[in-house]
Structure 1
Amino acid sequence: MDKVKVYEIKIQACIAQTKLQEALRIGLSVLELIGISFPTNITPLDIQEYLQKTQSNLRGKNISELINLPLLQDTEKSAALRILSSLVPIAFVSKPELFPLIICGQINLSLQSGIS
């Protein structure tokens, strides 16, 4: 986990220096180490699959159920959510096809593991 914290700092440093591609590369690499990966060449079908999976995971859940999800206890998954959050604006600007996948990843991870 100490390694992941160092990478989080590196990502933030790259963002501060407007090295967005480098921050994205580091973030995606760290997420892979944690077990979260995204397709390299994202297609509309990939986006559709991620959206359908998220929709399926949300089906039948009301707002109060979502608000009352358990707190995330797993430090590794908590780090993954922090990294995903830091990559949202980068993906939006520099790799828009990745943006919906990251958002879906955050939602699905929270639904499975808890909220932070």
Structure 2
Amino acid sequence: MGNPVVHFELIGPDPARLREFYSALFGWDAPAGAPVAPAISASAEYSFITPEPGWAPAAGGIGGGEGFAPHSIFYVGVASVSDTLEAAQQLGGTVALGPQRNEGAGITIGHLRDPAGNLIGVAGPA
């Protein structure tokens, strides 16, 4: 990949709720702090989430077609897509796409919406 994805942002009206949601769902350390720019987030309400040493850069895909709504999404690697989607619901999120298996690729994916409505993907073993 020429230019890799280097950053993502999850923005919503209640940043504290989003930090709580993602910290509980994925174990992310997300302390509140200053945003990279005032146009991005309220002061002292932005969290930088730093990857752990050894994390590989993400691969990407481009697709769609007639009948597919335009969107962008990133995927978080998880041990169990089903368990993660269930946990997301218990934490106040919703399931947008149930587990979808691709046996040929050895992967299962799912989509969820966080409490602010942001669309997030999860991916794990088939």
TM-score under structure 1 length normalisation: 0.30
Larger radius of gyration: 2
Q: Bigger relative contact order, structure 1 or 2, given CA contacts below 8 A and separation 6+?
A: 1
Structure 1 or 2: larger helix share?
A: 1
